Structure 1
């Protein structure tokens, strides 16, 4: 490859638009953390403890199925307008989520179903936020320099994760839980204004065709697999017609997806990128990272607020060690990669630390003090800091500049789909373990009623239960959450093993002019 130095003024261009990009990323990250902290209060009003994982699954699934589409249409039509559209869609989803179960939409009877559906809409917008923000940085900055910028963005993600539980806790304790969603609106408007005015990216005058058939087949296949992991062994038996039908649908859809992509003029996910060893390996690492991390930490606020008796605000504060550790390590890793050009060691270290953290968290029980949980999740934050940005950086460095959007979307896609599978699988593990444990401790009738969330559930309600029932419920809940982390260990240990086979390919220090020879002359938006 022929490398050139970055164009003069490129750093200034990046710094001008970086605040808007950071706000857009913060939108997606803030929302998940705010909602996680507010979930016990949401369950208290809308009911349905058994549906806890679906509120997260719907969001992650929406993100997962839309990510390849956002990345591809950004490559085809220019990223600016596509990026702005994703922000608008995310804000619409936020408004609808805040209205779920309100009198305007028929009251709380159908509130949980509405919230799950609206979270899917939110997730569709979030897919565009994450992938296009990273791809825009890739458009403006050569790989060798991306480490420091992606380190900053990873730090912002960590800050958002810190702020999210705090804001969510304050909203939950002092305001209506609906503001957990409405708070996205002012942030979204500021990001829209900044990017609409400041962001200047190439827009190409060419004819394009979106691979809609490939997108539909991929969405059907992924959705079917997620439903299998969510319903299998929980709502339906593994050999039930529903699960077997979904399995057949997933196999057919994904089997058809491969030849469709091979024949498509502009495939939604070009299969040729998987010929690159590093790209395939880092995609697997991203999948496992999402599986273990997002699937497991979804249950931390529930443990802290219910088992440990923390208020919503305090449970947000208790997550600070994890987010602070992730932020510090992300900044260090970004600077180190930019300075040395070396990156292979970081996902290996991060995977080892993350597996250790999952083992520590699996040891928690009803008697675990808050300070000890804080130490455990700080270890998890260290592992996240080594992994979060390096997966994207290695994926982008493994493809040509013209496939940058595909690489960014694929990296986000595999992390999102891992999170989606993780939330679904761990949600099923949690529900099955909770039902079994409550039945053993409290008897079939009472245990089943508490496990299925037939009544409204919230931490305050625990105080009104008889002491023996309350203790049995808390012990069952704690052991069920610990079982989730035990399962997470199995996936976390694979991360360093796979990362060890990544080849240390030098990061490009500039853009390859030869890559632009086949690209039409751009105009500025």
Structure 2
């Protein structure tokens, strides 16, 4: 076994901290989960109150959309900033800062006097909630291994479910309680936030990583401006101006230009808000894309359920919250159960696929929604959506976290949350515009049928059903019921796209420790650079963990057939070098496989004609390199790779060849004999059949000790140990003829005897075999050598007779049993 450690690698990869116990993790997560509860509550507690809030502030559907979109947009933009800060400063301080910002935003929202003030306060709330959402994932990733993270993600899902269940109910009760009013929907989260601050201070202890802070403010501004411009266009298109107009061209064109500038800035930024290098992995890119489409469908469609229950079915805010329970139940069950199973098995893709199916089916079924749809059907549809959300949302984050290094967990987690929330903001804004348009269309049709064509357009404000005449109220309920159904119809394709993307994500088994090397799926392999292998600098080589010395220039260290040389080169980490035979000749078309210390494959390469190879590694760490080629023994080496590429040359020795001849007792060849080669573990290495001359041959046998087993018709099988070297090894096998004794056990009147017990003993009295006769009284013993045997038959009083076999085929021998006369 070979170990090559580049200089300085020990400083780059410090020993990981010991894993925390289940109790310690729960104590650390207690305040964090409470903070997450606050962040989720800030959105859900308002959901059922929004129709009342917007009606009392005399706002329209666009304002309703922007009260939600503003939070999502602020959360979207702030999430990667929080995530980047988490890679640079204390995560504990950041969580507490997020809670304080949330408290300030909640207080201002409760004091709002107009829609503009409310939207501004919601932006502040979103900034705080973005920090809590991003940092919860980051801190969990920092203190819990990916394999165990599925279990605790289930707890996070349960908290999500609790806040999602309790929020609408609390909000509905507050709105329906006359002495409280809707303003308390914003105040109610403040006590929970204060408690979370105190608990976090006492229980959360996360290692602090200190380095120079460099925040990409330019990137944050550009992405904010680009998304905001796009959402403003979606909100007012078709209302303030036509979809095809100069305003559309200016806004969409401006958003595209700002997005391109954002990508340019991110490519050059020292600490980018969205690290573009993460997207080198197709698995990460696909997971991020799937998260965005899940966000579009999930936020975009479910946001308007409260309007459906209150404006299409005439329910109170409290009942509107109660009626969404099937969806929350599905979310809670699926996230918790899936998390537990993922922790036990390490497999997560099946849950993403099943979740995508449920999500797509749920949205498709909800497209049939009308104001008079039976509630039990609606409950089934919502349960499907809840199951889909519970299986996809957290596990998409988990799949990305499993493929990045510990120092990138913050940025990676935040990128997923960023695009999911960005999708949510786009979905809410776009589908909100769809809802407003469809409701107006259906109301025009309904009012026209009532002969109220002049009042069809209305002023766009959200109505208060209790103040409407019965005929008009029915038209409004029908319009909102049909309109919300259309929203789900438009959301279903986004869920389907997310499912299709999930199908292409390559599953990488979850690591059991954050210290394990990262498996990167779908990373584009680097092309081999000619001559780069010759840039030899300094190497520190170790064998069995002991330092062997330093080598410079062209010096090399050789252990067990491998030569390790550390190299400096431009670019990221990697392993490269040459594969040669023991005679120094390059070995072309040799196969190299790179795995981590747990046996998971990371990469694969084939050597060029000159024996050169180049393998990409996901980062510094310990890896195992396996090289194999035809007619050569495979070699394996353990390599410690740092931040610079490692040059590693391997020498493959020629593999052994096993040949021989199978002969009979008289020296005659035995054709069509079965020859089996097994290793010391009993595993079959190779099999074959002898040719007409009795010969056999096996190439590519690795040097070692094997068992050669030969069998042929009419002969006794035999086995012999054989030691194969690097050259040709010959082992001839001689087979002895197989004698067989057979006969019938009969009673004295001549009839066959069934169920008689027949035992055959050799000359030394050892039992060679035993049998029980059938209805025909027959028995048989095969594969016997020549010599003296004793046949004992019982059923009546036993009879023992001695027979002599000549070793040449069948020997008939019948036995008569019966009582003595």
Partner of residue 137, structure 1? 140
Q: Out of 18, 30, 44, which is 2:29 matched to?
A: 18
Q: Out of 447, 450, 453, which is 2:456 matched to?
A: 447
Question: What is the alpha-carbon distance in structure 2 between the residues aligned to residue 278 and residue 6 of structure 1?
Answer: 28
Partner of residue 275, structure 1? 280
CA displacement, residues 285-305 of structure 1 (integer Å, 9 cap, x when unaligned): 111111001100111111112
Mapping 1:57-96, distance limit 5 Å: 57-96=69-108
Indicate if the aligned counterparts of 2:108 and 2:121 stay in contact, CA closer than 8 A: yes
Correspondence 1:128 to 2:131: yes
Partner of residue 496, structure 2? 493
Question: What is the alpha-carbon distance in structure 2 between the residues aligned to residue 3 and residue 299 of structure 1?
Answer: 50
Q: Report the structure number with the largest CA radius of gyration.
A: 2
SS, match of residue 508 in structure 1: coil
Correspondence 1:97 to 2:109: yes
Q: Out of 41, 49, 70, which is 1:38 matched to?
A: 49
Higher mean Cα deviation, 183-192 or 111-120?
111-120
Indicate if the aligned counterparts of 2:29 and 2:204 stay in contact, CA closer than 8 A: no
Partner of residue 163, structure 1? 166
Correspondence 1:458 to 2:464: yes
Q: Out of 506, 509, 518, which is 1:506 matched to?
A: 509
SS, match of residue 202 in structure 1: coil
Q: Out of 356, 363, 366, which is 1:361 matched to?
A: 366
Mapping 1:353-392, distance limit 5 Å: 353-392=358-397
CA-CA distance at 1:491 after TM superposition? 0.7
Question: What is the alpha-carbon distance in structure 2 between the residues aligned to residue 33 and residue 226 of structure 1?
Answer: 22
Question: What is the alpha-carbon distance in structure 2 between the residues aligned to residue 143 and residue 3 of structure 1?
Answer: 19
Question: What is the alpha-carbon distance in structure 2 between the residues aligned to residue 90 and residue 237 of structure 1?
Answer: 37
Partner of residue 209, structure 1? 214
Partner of residue 523, structure 1? none
Q: CA RMSD in A?
A: 2.1
CA-CA distance at 1:4 after TM superposition? 8.6
CA displacement, residues 238-274 of structure 1 (integer Å, 9 cap, x when unaligned): 2333332221221111111122112111112110001
CA separation of 1:516 and 1:481: change in aligned 2, threshold 3 A: same
Question: What is the alpha-carbon distance in structure 2 between the residues aligned to residue 137 and residue 279 of structure 1?
Answer: 19
Partner of residue 287, structure 1? 292
CA-CA distance at 1:137 after TM superposition? 0.5
Indicate if the aligned counterparts of 2:312 and 2:479 stay in contact, CA closer than 8 A: no
Mapping 1:160-309, distance limit 5 Å: 160-174=163-177, 175-309=180-314
CA separation of 1:286 and 1:127: change in aligned 2, threshold 3 A: same
SS, match of residue 285 in structure 2: helix
CA separation of 1:8 and 1:135: change in aligned 2, threshold 3 A: closer
CA-CA distance at 1:3 after TM superposition? 12
SS, match of residue 180 in structure 1: helix
CA-CA distance at 1:5 after TM superposition? 8.4
CA displacement, residues 403-458 of structure 1 (integer Å, 9 cap, x when unaligned): 100111111111101110110110010111112222222255422225x11xx733
Indicate if the aligned counterparts of 1:234 and 1:431 stay in contact, CA closer than 8 A: no
Higher mean Cα deviation, 175-184 or 304-313?
304-313
Correspondence 1:393 to 2:406: no
State the TM-score, normalized to the length of structure 1: 0.92
CA separation of 1:459 and 1:371: change in aligned 2, threshold 3 A: farther
Question: What is the alpha-carbon distance in structure 2 between the residues aligned to residue 300 and residue 487 of structure 1?
Answer: 15
Correspondence 1:352 to 2:357: yes
Q: Which runs of 5+ in 2 are unaligned?
A: 1-8, 518-618, 622-641, 644-821
Partner of residue 107, structure 1? none
Higher mean Cα deviation, 57-66 or 300-309?
300-309
| Higher normalized contact order (CA 8 Å, seq sep 6+, divided by chain length) | 1
Partner of residue 605, structure 2? none
Q: How many residues align?
A: 504
Indicate if the aligned counterparts of 2:174 and 2:181 stay in contact, CA closer than 8 A: yes
Question: What is the alpha-carbon distance in structure 1 between the residues aligned to residue 499 and residue 14 of structure 2?
Answer: 31
Which has a greater percent of strand?
2
Question: What is the alpha-carbon distance in structure 1 between the residues aligned to residue 339 and residue 121 of structure 2?
Answer: 35
CA-CA distance at 1:357 after TM superposition? 0.7
Question: What is the alpha-carbon distance in structure 2 between the residues aligned to residue 354 and residue 49 of structure 1?
Answer: 30
SS, match of residue 26 in structure 1: helix
Indicate if the aligned counterparts of 2:78 and 2:130 stay in contact, CA closer than 8 A: yes
